[in-house]
Amino acid sequence: MNTILCDELLQEIFRRLPPPSSAAVSLVCKRWLYLLRSSTTSLSLSFIEPPFIPLFTSFLRFYPYLSTVSVTITTTLDSSDHLLFSISSSCPNLKYLKFLSGPLSHFSLVSLSASCPNLVSLTVTLFRPLNFMWLASFNKSLKELSVYSAGDSRELDFVDFSGSCDSELNLESLLLTGIKARDKGVSFLWRNCKKVRNLKLKSCESVGDQSSFLAFLEYLEGLETVELRTCRAIVDGVLLKLAENCGMLNSLLIYDGGSKEGLLHFLSQSICCTNLQKLDLRLPLDLDNSHLIAAAENLRSLRCLRLQSCCLVTGEGLKILGNAMANGLEELALINCDVVERESGLLATLGQDLKKLRKLDLSFNDMLIDKELISMVVSCNNLNELKLRGCNKLTNLAMVSLAKCCRKLESVDVMYCCGIEVQAVELFVLNSPKLRRLQVEENKVSDVARTWASNKFIEIVY
C-alpha cells in the first residue's frame, strides 16, 4: 500500500485525519513523517520557558508550508525579537501569526513585514510606550490586528506622538486590550484605520487620544461588529457615537461594565438599530426591563439575543421581547439568568412565541427543572442546537423528552448535568436521527452508545 499511494494522495489523506490519528502517522516510517510535515499548514506551540533559538529554527524548517503559527510563552521575556525573527525567516508563507511573549522592538516588527509579505492576521503583545508606526511597513495584505498591551506606562510622559507621520492602513478587524489614558500612540490607529469592520476593546480604561477616536468612529459608517469587554469607563462615549454614525452595525457585545443610560439611549435610536442582528450582553446590574422593551420596539432585524447573569431582568420584559421577535429570533441564550428559575411558565411562553428558534442556550441555570424545559421545547420544533451545560436539576426525563420532541437536533451539550445518567444518554443517541455532536462526560457514555455514535457519525466530545 505504501508503494501504491503517491505522495500527493497520502498528504490529502493526512489532512483529513483527526488529531489522534495524525500523531500516529509520524511513527510509521520516515517517508510518512516527511509527508506529514510537508502537508502541515498550521502549528500551535506553548512554552513555559523560551526555546533554544537554533533548535527552534531547525524544528520550524521541518514544516516548509506553514501558513498559521501560534506561539505562547508563559514566562515573560526581556526580548522576543530573536524568536520572532526565527519564525519569520523559517515561514515565508505565513498568513496568520499569534505571538504572545515578551516585548517586541519596532525593528523586529518591520523585519516581520519584509519576511512575511502575505501576512493577513497578526496577534502580538506590546509593551509601553505603545507605538504603532511600524504598521506602515506592512503592505495591504494585513487585515486583522490584535494587540495585548502590558508593561509600565511611565515612559509615555517622555514620548511625543503628535508629529507621527500617517499611512492609511488596510485593517478590517482591530482588537485592543488594556489601553490607558496615557497611551497616546494609539492615535496613529484611529487616524489611519478607515476600513475597520470589526472593533473589539477589552479591559480598556481609555481610548488614548479621545478626539482621534471620536473622529475614527464618525468615519466608520460601515462598522459591522463592536465588542466591549470590561470597558465601563468608555462605554457611554462609544455607544453615543455608534448611535449617531453606525447604521450598518449588525452585532453588539457588552460584557462586565456598561451604562444603563448609554445602553438605553443606543437601543432607543431606530437609525442605529435598523440592521442589528445580534445582541450579546453580560450586565448583571446594568440591564433591566426598560432595555428589553426598547429592544422590542426598535430591533426588528434581531436574529440572536444572548443574555448572561442579568439579575434585574424579569419575565415581563422577556415576554414583551419574545412576542415582538416572534417572527425573527433564531437564537436565544439565557445563561445563568435567575429569572428562568424564578418565574414559572416563562420558558413555556417564550417557546410558544419563538417558533423559528434554532439555537437555545440555557446553560448554568442550576435550578432549572425538567417540567420548565420540556414546556418550552415541545413548541420549538426547529431546534438544531441546544446547550444545557451545568443544569444540575435536569434528569433522565429531560433527555427522553428531547429525543421525542426535538427531532432536528444536531448539537447538544449536557456537560455537568448531574441528574442525567448513562441510560438516558444511550437512549438519546439511539433515538436522535439528526444528531451529529454530543458534549457529555465520558463516564456517561456506554459501549452501546459509543458504537451507535460511531455508526451514525456522531462526534462525542468529553
On whether the CB atoms of residues 125 and 97 are closer than 8 A, the answer is no
On whether the CB atoms of residues 178 and 207 are closer than 8 A, the answer is no
DSSP string, 128-190: SSP--GGGGGS-TT--EEEEEEES--GGGGG---TTPPP--B--SEEEEES--TT-GGGHHHH
The whole-model pTM stands at 0.88
On whether the CB atoms of residues 395 and 419 are closer than 8 A, the answer is yes
What is the phi-psi region of residue 294: left when phi exceeds 0, alpha when psi lies from -120 to 50, beta otherwise? alpha
CA distance readout (Å), 363 to 98, 108, 414: 31, 44, 9
Angstrom distance (rounded) from CA 337 to CA 365: 7
Nearest to 283 by CA among 305, 317, 313: 313
Find all residues with CB under 8 Å of 400, minimum gap 6, and list them: 424, 427, 428
Instruction: Give the pLDDT of residue 78.
Output: 62
Instruction: Give the pLDDT of residue 19.
Output: 63
pLDDT in tens, 127-144: 888 889 999 998 788 999
Find all residues with CB under 8 Å of 362, minimum gap 6, and list them: 333, 334, 335, 340, 368, 373, 387, 388, 391
Instruction: Give the pLDDT of residue 154.
Output: 44
Angstrom distance (rounded) from CA 390 to CA 388: 6
Instruction: Give the pLDDT of residue 439.
Output: 97
pLDDT in tens, 44-68: 999 888 888 899 999 898 888 899 9
DSSP string, 194-263: ----EEEEES-S--SSHHHHHHHHHH-TT--EEEEES-HHHHHHHHHHHHHH-TT--EEEEES---HHHH
pLDDT in 10s for each residue of the chain, 462 residues: 667 778 777 777 777 776 666 667 777 788 878 787 877 888 999 988 888 889 999 989 888 889 999 999 887 666 688 899 999 999 989 999 999 887 788 889 999 999 999 999 999 988 888 889 999 998 788 999 999 987 664 444 444 445 556 788 999 999 999 998 888 889 999 989 989 999 999 999 988 878 888 888 877 778 899 999 999 999 988 898 888 877 789 999 999 987 888 999 999 886 777 889 999 999 998 999 999 999 999 998 999 999 999 999 999 999 999 999 998 999 999 999 999 989 999 999 999 999 999 999 999 999 999 999 999 999 999 999 999 999 999 999 999 999 999 999 999 999 999 999 999 999 999 999 999 999 999 999 999 999 999 999 999 999
Return phi, psi of residue 309, to 5°: 50, 40
Angstrom distance (rounded) from CA 9 to CA 432: 35
Cell 515573560 locates to 76
**Eight-state DSSP code of residue 50:** P
Instruction: Give the pLDDT of residue 22.
Output: 65
Copy the grid coordinates of residue 254: 457588552
Using DSSP, how many helices (H) and how many strands (E) does the chain show? Answer: 19, 17
Instruction: Give the pLDDT of residue 413.
Output: 98
What domains lie within the chain, and their CATH numbers? Answer: 1-40 (1.20.1280), 355-365+377-461 (3.80.10.10)
On whether the CB atoms of residues 444 and 418 are closer than 8 A, the answer is no
